[in-house]
């Protein structure tokens, strides 16, 4: 058999249990590598550092993935359309970092026509909140008139940002969040944003597909660099809450 089904079982009692090599991931469904385990901080950090991420519905066991190809975005390669540039320049918003992490998770967990629906269940939200509390997970928030209208969150290890999800309640709000995140990541010398699974929407923003082998080589170099943990704050000239107060 060309691709036998041999899912690796992770023991939830052993958060230090190693993951199988990514090249053992299934081809169909693309990238499924392991099942089980838990969402403890040590296991999640180990997973992300090896190019593996959890993705499952709330009524399923934990599933771990490492797809091939992998969608990535170089922060300096973000494509800014003329309409998005106008929205950015309009400046009728505030953008913050790590100000409303849990609220961003809640908004990202809502059902949407694009992306991964309601995959972000309570267990996942609690896990990423723990990562945030340890300084590894971060959010970007976009505010208008004191209301949260868009944002995104992800995990940072070394000098790579693993994008997890984004949301918009107004036109271009999530893209504005991504734009300012990219500007800050460039200033901090982050060379890679992991977008996980490619889509037409991600490609329209400048993301490209690379082989899993290429991604893992980029990842190893990026995660070996000095990390930027703790609470993030902009140190570039982003639209601030001084002009547009956020709660």
- pLDDT-derived band at 1 (thresholds 50, 70, 90) equals very low
Q: Which residues, in sequence order, are bridge partners of residue 162?
A: 155, 194
Q: Give the separation between CA 156 and CA 81, rounded to whole angstroms.
A: 27
* 165: DSSP letter: E
**CA–CA distance from 40 to each of 48, 51, 100, 231, 247 (Å)?**
12, 17, 22, 20, 31
> Which of 34, 45, 41 has the alpha carbon at shortest distance from 11?
34
Q: Where are the alpha helices (DSSP H) in the chain?
A: 41-49, 82-90, 101-108, 122-133, 173-187, 200-204, 212-223
Q: What is the mean pLDDT of residues 219-235?
A: 96
Cα 150 to its chain centre, rounded Å, is 15
150 vs 239: which has the higher pLDDT: 150
pTM of the full structure: 0.92
Q: Is the dihedral of CA 42, 43, 49, 55 positive or negative?
A: negative
* 163: DSSP letter: E
Residue for token pair 């082998």: 213
Q: Give the separation between CA 181 and CA 177, rounded to whole angstroms.
A: 6
Q: Give the separation between CA 107 and CA 153, rounded to whole angstroms.
A: 11
Out of 97-101, 136-140, 177-181, 241-245, least confident range: 241-245
Cis peptide before 31 (omega within 30 of 0): no
Q: Which residues, in sequence order, are bridge partners of residue 9?
A: 35
pLDDT at 112 over 80: no
8-48 tens-digit pLDDT: 999 999 988 999 999 999 999 999 999 999 999 999 999 99
Please enumerate, as own/partner, the contacts of 25-30 that have beta carbons within 8 Å and a separation of 24 or more: 25/65, 25/66, 25/67, 25/68, 25/212, 27/3, 28/3, 30/67, 30/68
85 vs 238: which has the higher pLDDT: 85
Strands of the 147-157 sheet, one edge to the other: 94-97, 137-144, 147-157, 160-168, 192-196, 70-73, 208-210
Give the pairing of strands 160-168 and 192-196.
parallel
What pLDDT does 75 receive?
Answer: 98
Residue for token pair 């070394």: 158
Give the pairing of strands 147-157 and 160-168.
antiparallel
- pLDDT-derived band at 239 (thresholds 50, 70, 90) equals confident
Q: Give the separation between CA 108 and CA 150, rounded to whole angstroms.
A: 9
């Amino acid at each position: 058999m060309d691709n036998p089904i041999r899912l690796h079982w992770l023991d939830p009692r052993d958060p230090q249990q190693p993951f199988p090599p990514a090249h053992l991931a299934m081809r169909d469904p693309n990238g499924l590598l392991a099942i089980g385990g838990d969402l403890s901080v040590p296991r999640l950090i180990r997973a992300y550092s090896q190019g593996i991420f959890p993705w499952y519905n709330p009524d399923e066991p934990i599933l771990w993935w490492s797809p091939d190809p992998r969608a990535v975005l170089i922060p300096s390669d973000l494509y800014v359309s003329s309409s998005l540039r106008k929205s950015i320049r309009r400046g009728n918003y505030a953008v913050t970092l790590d100000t409303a992490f849990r609220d961003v998770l809640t908004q990202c967990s809502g059902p949407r026509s694009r992306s991964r629906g309601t995959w972000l269940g309570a267990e996942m939200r609690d896990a990423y909140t723990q990562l945030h509390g340890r300084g590894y997970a971060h959010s970007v928030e976009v505010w208008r008139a004191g209301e949260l209208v868009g944002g995104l969150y992800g995990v940072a290890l070394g000098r790579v940002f693993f994008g997890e999800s984004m949301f918009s309640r107004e036109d271009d709000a999530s893209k504005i969040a991504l734009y300012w995140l990219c500007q800050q990541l460039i200033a901090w010398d982050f060379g890679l944003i992991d977008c996980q699974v490619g889509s037409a929407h991600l490609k329209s923003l400048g993301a490209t597909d690379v082989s899993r082998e290429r991604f893992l080589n980029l990842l190893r170099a990026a995660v070996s660099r000095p990390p930027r943990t703790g609470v993030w704050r902009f140190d570039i000239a982003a639209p601030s809450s001084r002009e547009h107060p956020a709660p």
